[in-house]
Protein backbone atom coordinates (compact mmCIF):
# COMPACT_ATOMS: atom_id res chain seq x y z
CA UNK A 1 0.00 0.00 0.00
CA UNK A 2 1.72 3.14 -1.24
CA UNK A 3 -0.29 5.77 0.58
CA UNK A 4 -0.91 4.36 4.07
CA UNK A 5 -1.77 7.13 6.53
CA UNK A 6 -2.80 9.63 3.86
CA UNK A 7 -6.30 10.89 3.05
CA UNK A 8 -8.15 11.51 -0.20
CA UNK A 9 -11.34 13.24 -1.29
CA UNK A 10 -13.14 12.19 -4.47
CA UNK A 11 -16.15 14.00 -5.91
CA UNK A 12 -18.85 12.06 -7.74
CA UNK A 13 -17.59 8.93 -6.04
CA UNK A 14 -20.66 6.72 -5.91
CA UNK A 15 -20.52 5.24 -9.41
CA UNK A 16 -18.67 5.08 -12.71
CA UNK A 17 -15.18 6.54 -12.84
CA UNK A 18 -15.56 8.03 -9.37
CA UNK A 19 -16.39 4.71 -7.71
CA UNK A 20 -13.48 3.03 -9.48
CA UNK A 21 -11.16 5.79 -8.22
CA UNK A 22 -12.49 5.42 -4.66
CA UNK A 23 -11.82 1.67 -4.73
CA UNK A 24 -8.35 2.03 -6.24
CA UNK A 25 -7.20 4.73 -3.81
CA UNK A 26 -8.55 2.79 -0.84
CA UNK A 27 -6.68 -0.30 -2.05
CA UNK A 28 -3.52 1.81 -2.15
CA UNK A 29 -3.93 2.50 1.57
CA UNK A 30 -5.65 5.89 1.55
CA UNK A 31 -8.52 6.81 3.81
CA UNK A 32 -11.06 7.99 1.23
CA UNK A 33 -13.98 10.37 1.66
CA UNK A 34 -16.21 10.83 -1.35
CA UNK A 35 -19.01 13.20 -2.27
CA UNK A 36 -22.20 11.92 -3.85
CA UNK A 37 -25.58 13.42 -4.68
CA UNK A 38 -27.88 10.44 -5.18
CA UNK A 39 -27.82 6.69 -5.94
CA UNK A 40 -27.76 5.48 -2.35
CA UNK A 41 -27.77 1.92 -3.71
CA UNK A 42 -24.36 2.47 -5.28
CA UNK A 43 -23.07 4.01 -2.06
CA UNK A 44 -24.17 0.93 -0.13
CA UNK A 45 -22.33 -1.29 -2.61
CA UNK A 46 -19.14 0.68 -2.04
CA UNK A 47 -19.50 0.57 1.73
CA UNK A 48 -20.10 -3.17 1.70
CA UNK A 49 -17.02 -3.64 -0.46
CA UNK A 50 -14.94 -1.48 1.91
CA UNK A 51 -16.16 -3.34 5.00
CA UNK A 52 -15.28 -6.68 3.43
CA UNK A 53 -11.83 -5.38 2.43
CA UNK A 54 -11.34 -3.64 5.80
CA UNK A 55 -10.66 -0.29 4.13
CA UNK A 56 -11.74 3.22 5.09
CA UNK A 57 -14.34 4.72 2.76
CA UNK A 58 -16.62 7.55 3.94
CA UNK A 59 -19.60 8.83 1.89
CA UNK A 60 -20.75 12.44 2.21
CA UNK A 61 -24.04 13.44 0.57
CA UNK A 62 -23.83 16.91 -0.97
CA UNK A 63 -24.98 18.82 -4.04
CA UNK A 64 -21.74 20.47 -5.12
CA UNK A 65 -23.53 22.61 -7.71
CA UNK A 66 -24.56 24.82 -4.77
CA UNK A 67 -21.41 26.52 -3.40
CA UNK A 68 -23.10 27.05 -0.04
CA UNK A 69 -22.84 23.31 0.58
CA UNK A 70 -19.13 22.92 -0.10
CA UNK A 71 -17.55 24.29 3.08
CA UNK A 72 -19.60 22.11 5.41
CA UNK A 73 -18.96 19.06 3.21
CA UNK A 74 -15.21 19.71 3.30
CA UNK A 75 -15.38 20.01 7.09
CA UNK A 76 -17.20 16.67 7.25
CA UNK A 77 -14.58 15.04 5.04
CA UNK A 78 -11.68 16.28 7.16
CA UNK A 79 -13.44 15.23 10.37
CA UNK A 80 -13.73 11.68 9.04
CA UNK A 81 -10.42 11.06 7.26
CA UNK A 82 -8.14 13.92 8.31
CA UNK A 83 -6.37 16.63 6.26
CA UNK A 84 -6.83 16.01 2.55
CA UNK A 85 -3.60 15.00 0.82
CA UNK A 86 -5.16 13.89 -2.48
CA UNK A 87 -8.08 15.52 -4.26
CA UNK A 88 -9.82 14.01 -7.28
CA UNK A 89 -12.32 16.34 -8.97
CA UNK A 90 -14.43 13.83 -10.85
CA UNK A 91 -18.09 14.87 -10.52
CA UNK A 92 -19.73 15.87 -13.77
CA UNK A 93 -23.08 16.15 -15.49
CA UNK A 94 -24.13 16.54 -19.10
CA UNK A 95 -27.31 17.04 -21.11
CA UNK A 96 -27.05 15.48 -24.55
CA UNK A 97 -28.87 18.02 -26.69
CA UNK A 98 -28.36 20.95 -29.02
CA UNK A 99 -27.29 24.20 -27.37
CA UNK A 100 -30.39 25.93 -28.75
CA UNK A 101 -32.55 23.42 -26.88
CA UNK A 102 -30.80 23.70 -23.50
CA UNK A 103 -32.81 25.27 -20.70
CA UNK A 104 -31.19 27.90 -18.49
CA UNK A 105 -31.39 25.60 -15.47
CA UNK A 106 -29.57 22.86 -17.39
CA UNK A 107 -26.82 25.25 -18.47
CA UNK A 108 -26.28 26.44 -14.92
CA UNK A 109 -26.21 22.89 -13.55
CA UNK A 110 -23.47 21.85 -15.95
CA UNK A 111 -21.39 24.99 -15.42
CA UNK A 112 -21.66 24.88 -11.64
CA UNK A 113 -21.09 21.15 -11.25
CA UNK A 114 -18.35 20.64 -13.82
CA UNK A 115 -16.34 23.84 -13.47
CA UNK A 116 -17.31 26.22 -10.68
CA UNK A 117 -17.38 23.52 -7.99
CA UNK A 118 -13.96 22.28 -9.10
CA UNK A 119 -12.46 25.74 -8.73
CA UNK A 120 -14.10 26.44 -5.38
CA UNK A 121 -13.33 23.03 -3.88
CA UNK A 122 -9.74 23.10 -5.10
CA UNK A 123 -9.24 26.57 -3.65
CA UNK A 124 -10.25 25.39 -0.19
CA UNK A 125 -8.38 22.07 -0.23
CA UNK A 126 -5.22 23.61 -1.73
CA UNK A 127 -4.87 25.97 1.24
CA UNK A 128 -4.01 23.07 3.53
CA UNK A 129 -1.78 21.44 0.93
CA UNK A 130 0.28 24.60 0.57
CA UNK A 131 0.66 24.94 4.34
CA UNK A 132 1.88 21.32 4.59
CA UNK A 133 3.98 21.60 1.39
CA UNK A 134 2.45 18.38 0.12
CA UNK A 135 -0.49 17.37 -2.02
CA UNK A 136 -1.79 16.01 -5.28
CA UNK A 137 -4.81 17.18 -7.27
CA UNK A 138 -6.20 15.25 -10.23
CA UNK A 139 -8.95 16.76 -12.35
CA UNK A 140 -11.05 14.52 -14.58
CA UNK A 141 -11.67 16.21 -17.92
CA UNK A 142 -12.71 14.57 -21.19
CA UNK A 143 -11.56 14.15 -24.75
CA UNK A 144 -14.42 16.54 -25.59
CA UNK A 145 -12.50 19.21 -23.68
CA UNK A 146 -9.76 18.88 -26.30
CA UNK A 147 -11.77 18.37 -29.48
CA UNK A 148 -15.32 19.47 -28.72
CA UNK A 149 -18.46 17.40 -29.00
CA UNK A 150 -21.66 18.00 -30.93
CA UNK A 151 -24.75 18.12 -28.70
CA UNK A 152 -22.46 18.53 -25.68
CA UNK A 153 -21.15 22.05 -26.28
CA UNK A 154 -21.56 23.23 -22.70
CA UNK A 155 -20.11 20.02 -21.27
CA UNK A 156 -17.15 20.31 -23.66
CA UNK A 157 -16.63 23.94 -22.66
CA UNK A 158 -16.44 23.03 -18.98
CA UNK A 159 -14.02 20.19 -19.66
CA UNK A 160 -11.84 22.49 -21.76
CA UNK A 161 -11.90 24.90 -18.84
CA UNK A 162 -10.75 22.11 -16.53
CA UNK A 163 -7.73 21.50 -18.74
CA UNK A 164 -6.76 25.18 -18.73
CA UNK A 165 -7.38 25.39 -14.97
CA UNK A 166 -5.11 22.39 -14.42
CA UNK A 167 -2.27 23.86 -16.47
CA UNK A 168 -2.49 27.19 -14.67
CA UNK A 169 -2.74 25.70 -11.19
CA UNK A 170 0.18 23.34 -11.80
CA UNK A 171 2.37 26.40 -12.34
CA UNK A 172 0.88 28.13 -9.31
CA UNK A 173 1.12 25.28 -6.80
CA UNK A 174 4.22 23.47 -8.06
CA UNK A 175 6.62 25.61 -5.99
CA UNK A 176 4.67 24.48 -2.89
CA UNK A 177 5.25 20.79 -3.73
CA UNK A 178 1.64 20.33 -4.77
CA UNK A 179 1.14 18.41 -8.02
CA UNK A 180 -1.81 19.19 -10.29
CA UNK A 181 -2.66 16.86 -13.17
CA UNK A 182 -5.54 16.14 -15.50
CA UNK A 183 -6.91 12.92 -16.99
CA UNK A 184 -8.97 13.38 -20.16
CA UNK A 185 -10.51 10.00 -21.07
CA UNK A 186 -12.19 9.11 -24.31
CA UNK A 187 -15.53 7.32 -24.19
CA UNK A 188 -15.87 5.33 -20.96
CA UNK A 189 -18.58 2.77 -20.21
CA UNK A 190 -20.41 4.56 -17.40
CA UNK A 191 -24.05 5.07 -16.46
CA UNK A 192 -23.95 8.64 -17.77
CA UNK A 193 -22.59 7.50 -21.11
CA UNK A 194 -25.06 4.61 -21.44
CA UNK A 195 -27.94 6.98 -20.74
CA UNK A 196 -26.92 9.11 -23.74
CA UNK A 197 -26.29 6.45 -26.38
CA UNK A 198 -28.05 3.35 -27.67
CA UNK A 199 -26.16 0.07 -28.05
CA UNK A 200 -26.14 0.63 -31.81
CA UNK A 201 -24.55 4.06 -31.38
CA UNK A 202 -22.01 2.58 -28.96
CA UNK A 203 -21.09 -0.05 -31.54
CA UNK A 204 -20.50 2.72 -34.09
CA UNK A 205 -18.31 4.58 -31.59
CA UNK A 206 -16.25 1.46 -30.98
CA UNK A 207 -15.43 1.24 -34.68
CA UNK A 208 -13.52 4.53 -34.33
CA UNK A 209 -11.52 3.35 -31.30
CA UNK A 210 -8.24 1.48 -31.98
CA UNK A 211 -8.98 -1.10 -29.25
CA UNK A 212 -12.45 -1.62 -30.68
CA UNK A 213 -14.14 -1.08 -27.33
CA UNK A 214 -14.99 1.54 -24.74
CA UNK A 215 -12.65 2.29 -21.86
CA UNK A 216 -13.46 0.83 -18.46
CA UNK A 217 -13.70 3.03 -15.33
CA UNK A 218 -10.95 0.97 -13.69
CA UNK A 219 -8.54 1.96 -16.47
CA UNK A 220 -9.14 5.63 -15.74
CA UNK A 221 -8.69 4.95 -12.02
CA UNK A 222 -5.28 3.43 -12.76
CA UNK A 223 -4.24 6.64 -14.50
CA UNK A 224 -5.40 8.67 -11.50
CA UNK A 225 -3.58 6.51 -8.95
Question: Which one from 3, 36, 86, 155 is the annotated catalytic residue?
Answer: 155
Half-sphere exposure of 127 (CA within 13 A, CB side): 8
Contacts of 140 (CB under 8 A, 6+ apart): 17, 88, 89, 90, 92, 162, 182, 183, 184, 185, 220, 224
Contacts of 68 (CB under 8 A, 6+ apart): none
Please confirm, yes or no, whether 96 is among the known catalytic residues: no
Q: Which of 179, 170, 167 is nearest to 129 (CA)?
A: 179
CA dihedral sign, ordered 202, 207, 209, 213: positive
Q: What angle do CA 146, 220, 112 make, to 5 degrees?
A: 55
Task: State the Cα–Cα distance between residues 125 and 214, nearest whole angstrom.
Answer: 33
Count of CB atoms within 10 A of residue 34's CB?
28
Which residue numbers are catalytic? 155
Amino acid sequence: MRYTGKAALVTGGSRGIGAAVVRRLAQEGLKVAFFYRQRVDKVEELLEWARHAQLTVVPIKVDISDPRNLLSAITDAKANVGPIDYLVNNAGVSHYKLLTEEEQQELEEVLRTNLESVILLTREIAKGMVIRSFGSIVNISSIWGLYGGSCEAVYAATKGGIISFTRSLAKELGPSNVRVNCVAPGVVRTDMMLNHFTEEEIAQLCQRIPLGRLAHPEEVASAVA
